[in-house]
Amino acid sequence: MRRGLFIVFLVVNFYTSIGQSNYEIAKVYFSKAERDMEKIDYQAAKVNFDKAVSKIDSIQKSRIAEMGTLIYYELKSYKEAKDFAKKYFQLSRSKTSETYKQMLELYVDIEEKLEKIEAEQKEEERLKLMAEKEEKRIDSLKREWNAISDALSIHADTIFNFNTYGLAIFKKGNKYGLLNENGKILIKPNLYENALAFEGVFLFVDKKRKGAQIYCYKSKEKEGFELPDIKSINSASSFFEAVLLPRGNQQLVAYPNNSTDTFVFDLVNESFLRIKNIEGQLKAMKKADIINKYDEDENTVKIYKTWYKLGGHLGGDIYTLYNQETKKLKGYLFGSSEISENENRVLFAEDIGYLGSFYKNKIQAQKGKITSWYNVLGEKVSKMKDAKGTYTNDVIIEKKDTGKYQLKKDGIVFLGDKKLQSLEDYLKENK
């Protein structure tokens, strides 16, 4: 029995000693906190005050509660300051003291600040909700604007510049089409793999190489038509070996395979152009020693000991020359009277390629991807400037990040008669 009581005594005494030890330590930290407050170092005071409070079971003195109130008030931690103030009023024995009155005033100030903070938080939350709602509304308008914008876009990989008539070639995939400055598709990009444009005339060919179908569109007249089927030119022909640039004289030159007849076509009257007065032409060239001999029935001429078939007249007294047996294009006869007797009148196709229509003292030569120009004497001259004219309207072609194209005029996106103002103006209008 005595042994049991002794053990209880030891345990109580042990915890009492610990309690007394912690209390002594707490007093040290409280003292340090007071000194920090005198230095107006409330952050350091809080650290020491919290250490002191952690050493005791509960606050039993009003002075400690007052200290906690003041420290947390100065640090703007008003909720904690209020809790310590309440503790102060529970422990304070004198409600008439000056300190009590000051603490009451401080408590009221704390409550007012907390009410203000709560009101500010509510207002902040309200503004946040409004901002989120507005952001969602703007996002919705942006999606709406983008949908309209996409509907007013032209699906193309490339749109080339407008000519003076407001027409432009465009490409989608490996096909070419034609559109006007209002965005109207005049020729859909679903058939033609090649497109040529020169001096206001557009040509569309079904194949990049060895094309057989040609469509012509004339800018000034704003009309187009399909050229005759290649079989109507020569039943043995299946494709054009070359299609040259259309010229301002509205003539087109192309070269059907397996044929000794050059395809010279009048784009105005939509008809073939044959060599006029072939008999008279042959006689005149013979008389001028341009050719050595001729066979009127076969339309063949002898030049420098070689016989050729006259395939077509390209203008400027320039004729195509073929091997009658192989039906291969051999070259060109330059029959101008301006060429002296000693000068060479024949240029060979293997050297200069295919020739187009002669106009404004120049004729196009196309050899592979190389284009050059010659005059009536068969001399190479400077590049022929495309007389397509300068586009003077204020429609702008703009490529979007999506890869699609849009037409703009005065900053307004449009397509046909449909328009869309800028995103900024659209958002302002739909406030």
What distance in Å separates the CA atoms of residue 177 and residue 197, rounded to the nearest whole number?
Answer: 12
pLDDT at 342: 67
Asked whether residue 290 carries a pLDDT value surpassing 60, the answer given is yes
pLDDT reported for residue 1: 45
pLDDT at 2: 46
> What are 332-383's pLDDT values in tens digits?
999 988 888 767 889 999 999 999 999 999 999 999 999 999 999 999 999 9
What pLDDT score does 226 carry?
Answer: 95
Q: Are 396 and 407 in contact (CB under 8 A)?
A: yes
pLDDT at residue 331 is higher than 80: yes
201-250 tens-digit pLDDT: 999 999 999 999 999 999 999 999 999 999 888 899 999 999 999 998 99
Query: Domain residue spans in the chain?
Result: 58-151, 193-381
User: For residue 136, what pLDDT is reported?
Assistant: 94
Confidence at 17, pLDDT banded by 50, 70, 90: very low
Percentage of the chain modeled with pLDDT above 90: 71
User: Distance between CA atoms of 278 and 294, rounded to whole angstroms?
Assistant: 11
* Size of the chain, expressed as the number of residues it contains: 431
pLDDT at 173: 94
- Which residue is associated with the tokens 């991807």? 369
Average pLDDT across the chain, whole number: 90
What is the predicted pLDDT for the residue at 388? 72
The tens digit of pLDDT for each residue in 62-115 reads 999 899 999 999 999 999 999 999 999 999 888 888 999 999 999 999 999 999
| Per-residue pLDDT, 20 | 62
Asked whether the beta carbons of 321 and 309 are under 8 A apart, the reply is: yes
